[in-house]
Each structure stands twice: as C-alpha cells, then as structure tokens.
Structure 1
Amino acid sequence: MQNDYLKLALSNIDKKFNDHNSGRFVAQQLMDARIPLSDGNKHWETSPAQLIKQMHHLLGVLQATPGDLLFWGTQNAPYEVGIYVGGNQFIAIHNSEHVAKIQKISKSWYPCIAGSIF
C-alpha cells in the first residue's frame, strides 16, 4: 500500500498545482491512494500541523523510509511537509514554481521529524 501511494506521488512530478500548499498536495496523494487513517477520520488534513497529528507514529528523520512524511519547523508547529522518497530526497510543491518536484534534504533545509502513515 505504501508503494502504491509513493508511486502515485511520483507520477505527479512536474505537474503544476494552483497554490503552494505542501500539506494539500500530501493530503491529496493520501486520499487518491485511498490510504486509511488510523484514527477513524474520513479525510486527511491539509495543514502540516494537522497532518502531523494524524501520523501513525513519529520517528527521527534518519529512521524515515520511502513513503514516510517529513516535517519542517518543530514537532508542535510544523510549517512544511514532504513525502520522503529515499536517498535524502523528498517530493513537495516547489515554492516559486507551484510544481511538484523531487528536492534534496540539505543542512540548510533539514526536516525536524518524520511521520509514518502506517
């Protein structure tokens, strides 16, 4: 199931989205792949702060596996989210282009925590 969700997200690379809302992009991928929520809710939230609360469990960034979500900011106030694809890369909406892109994790743009959807 996690592989299907990641494949779906990868199929959206270079597609333009109407706004720069990484949470909305991630939530849409989860809903389109029909990934169920562990808490019984019907819809994935679109804000990083609400998405982090919907994670099955949280883990350190170094323990992330492909398909896990990466969050930037703090655990209590994340402001950005992306889908980890492995190899220090993630999928998110690029700020200036409003396009889904594979981006690299760097020292200057390092997530604070990862979350597992399973």
Structure 2
Amino acid sequence: MTSNWLDVALTQLGKTYPSSGAFVAFVMNESSIRADGQTGEWSTALLDLVYDVYELNSVENTRPGDLLFWGIPEQPYSVAIYVGGGHFVSVDENSKRVKMQTLNQNWYPSFTGTVL
C-alpha cells in the first residue's frame, strides 16, 4: 500500500497547516490520488475525507498509507496518515505544524480509511 503520498507527507514535516484535514487533502491532491467521492478531489473537511476513502476499517487492520481518524465516522475531529510501525504524520493541534507522532493509549484513532 505504500506509495508516493507517504513521501509527499514526509516532505511536509515542520510545515504549518490550518488543520489536519487541510494537510491530508494537500498530500492526497498533490499525489494525484483520486478521492472515492464524486469530484475526485480531496476536501479539507474531515467528514468529506471519511466519504472520500475507499473503505473504512478497524485500527487493527491499518496499513501504511491508510488514513487514521479520531471520532466517529459521522463526526470525525482529526485525521492523520499512518506511516507504519506505530507512527503517523499529522498536524499537531497546538503548533499547527506537521509532525511525526506515535500511537499511544492517550491519543489512539477510532477507525481507519483505506486510500486505495
């Protein structure tokens, strides 16, 4: 599942984005990966991102390149890109900078979305 969108995500480390949705939408659109939704473009809105993934899965079935979501499918509040090995890339809520982060019990996603 690893593809160039992981490379694009990693080049964004340290850059500032207004939200986690804006970061993920930028990465996916820059990588020319078509969203599963109607327009083919990835939206910055978290709910749209849920609808744009190919398939929703449990966190246990996450593969590198999948999107991690926090919240419920009808009301997500954060999104990240899973890198593998328990690490993900996302916008830090406080600094608004893209950071490599580690999954932990205090900040564990609720579900994942398969991109391809």
Tell me if the contact between 2:24 and 2:81 (Cα under 8 Å) persists in the aligned partners.
yes
The residue number in structure 2 matching 1:7 is 7
Tell me if the contact between 2:37 and 2:51 (Cα under 8 Å) persists in the aligned partners.
no
Structure 2 gaps of 5+ residues are: none
Q: TM-score, normalised by structure 1?
A: 0.91
Question: 1:99/1:82 Cα in 2 relative to 1: closer, same or farther (>3 Å)?
Answer: same
Q: TM-score, normalised by structure 2?
A: 0.93
The residue number in structure 2 matching 1:70 is 68
**Aligned partners of 1:93, 1:99: CA distance in 2, in Å?**
5
**Aligned partners of 1:54, 1:38: CA distance in 2, in Å?**
5
Deviation at 1:108, TM superposition (A): 1.1
Amino acid at match of 1:10: L
Deviation at 1:63, TM superposition (A): 0.6
Q: Write out aligned runs for 1:1-118 (5 A).
A: 2-17=2-17, 19=18, 21-118=19-116
Deviation at 1:2, TM superposition (A): 4.5
Instruction: Return structure 1 stretches of 4+ with deviation > 4 angstroms.
Output: none
Deviation at 1:71, TM superposition (A): 0.2
- Tell me the secondary structure at the aligned position of residue 36 of structure 2: coil
Q: How many residues align?
A: 116
Deviates more, 1:77-86 or 1:38-47: 38-47
Deviation at 1:38, TM superposition (A): 2.8
**Aligned partners of 1:108, 1:55: CA distance in 2, in Å?**
25
**Aligned partners of 2:113, 2:6: CA distance in 1, in Å?**
14
* Percent identical residues: 34
- Tell me the secondary structure at the aligned position of residue 85 of structure 1: strand
